[in-house]
Amino acid sequence: MNKPRPLQYLAYCYGKRLPDSMREWVAHDLADHGAVRRHMIRMAIPPLLILAPFWLLPASLYVHLEMTAPIYIWAILMALALNKVWRRHRLAQHNLDPNLVDEIKRKKDAHIHEAYVRKYGPRPEDARWQSNSSPF
């Protein structure tokens, strides 16, 4: 599995497409164990860099927190809320299946699905559209 060089990785973190030779690494990065954590760390850094200069202004701790905490918390909450949408977009950008985002959940819940099939039989083909968490 090819890994990106440091500058490639930095550009990839914030939207650049990697070469096709790294598709396996991208799939692992965006859809395997720890993908949400990696996404949240990447999305926490830019607002931190933007808000950090406010801490250089002369003011009390309360004022600094009052200026920066609401914006930073909102940015983190939006990153968490949109993490699947963003990871789906990134997978599609690299010509990978966007439904890979749900791969961890599928692996974790495989025993539930197997028990369902044993008890009730296979699901009908027209229920296939419900098998992913895509909001669209």
Asked if 31 and 105 touch (Cβ cutoff 8 Å), the reply is no
- Average pLDDT over the chain, rounded to whole? 90
pTM as predicted? 0.78
User: Any idea of the CA torsion for 21, 79, 99, 117, to the nearest 10 degrees?
Assistant: 140
43-61 pLDDT, tens digit each: 999 999 999 999 999 999 9
- The terminus-to-terminus CA distance of the chain in angstroms comes to 32
What lies within 8 Å, CB to CB, of 94 at 6+ separation is 17, 18, 23, 26, 27
CB under 8 A, 24+ apart: contacts of 110-115: none
Q: Each residue of 58-95: pLDDT tens digit? A: 999 999 999 999 999 999 999 999 999 999 999 999 99
